[in-house]
Chains A and B, each alone.
Chain A
Amino acid sequence: MVPLSYYLVLSGILFACGVTGFLIKRNIITIFMSIELMLNGVNLSFVAFAAHWHVLAGQVFVFFVMVVAAAEAAVGLAIIISVYRTRETLNVDQVNLLKL
Chain B
Amino acid sequence: MISVHLILFLAFGAVCVAGAVNLLVQRHPINSALSLIAVMAALAGEYLLLGAEFVAAVQVIVYAGAIMVLFVFVIMLLNAGVEEQTQGSRVALWFGVPGMLLGSLLVAWVVLRHSGTESVAAGALPGDPIVIGQLLFHEFLLPFEITSILILIAIMGAVVLASKPATSAPAEAEKGSD
Contact = CB atoms under 8 A, between A and B. Distances in A.
15 contacts: A5-B111, A9-B108, A16-B100, A27-B83, A29-B74, A33-B36, A34-B23, A44-B43, A47-B47, A64-B147, A66-B58, A67-B151, A71-B153, A77-B162, A85-B165
B136 interface: yes
A21 B23 contact: yes
A80 B178 CA distance: 28
A9 B111 contact: yes
A50 B83 CA distance: 39
Interface in B132-175: 132, 135-136, 139-140, 143, 147, 150-151, 153-155, 157-162, 165
B90 interface: no
B71 A73 contact: yes
A70 B20 contact: no
A47 B33 contact: no
B104 A33 contact: no
B6 interface: yes
Contacts of B9: 2, 6-7
A10 B33 CA distance: 20
Contacts of A12: 104, 107-108, 111
A26 B167 CA distance: 31
B138 to A, nearest CB: 11
B119 A20 contact: no
Most buried by A among B5, B86, B158: B158
B78 A36 contact: no
B70 A73 contact: yes
Nearest to A8: B111
Interface in B11-35: 13, 16-17, 20-21, 23-24, 29, 32-33
Contacts of B52: 47, 50-51, 59, 62
A45 B43 CA distance: 11
A14 to B, nearest CB: 6
A47 to B, nearest CB: 5
Given A29-B80, A77-B74, 17 more contacts: A4-B118, A5-B115, A6-B112, A10-B17, A10-B46, A26-B85, A36-B36, A36-B63, A50-B52, A51-B51, A56-B126, A59-B132, A71-B154, A73-B71, A75-B158, A81-B78, A85-B165
A36 B88 CA distance: 24
A72 B162 CA distance: 14
B51 A70 contact: no
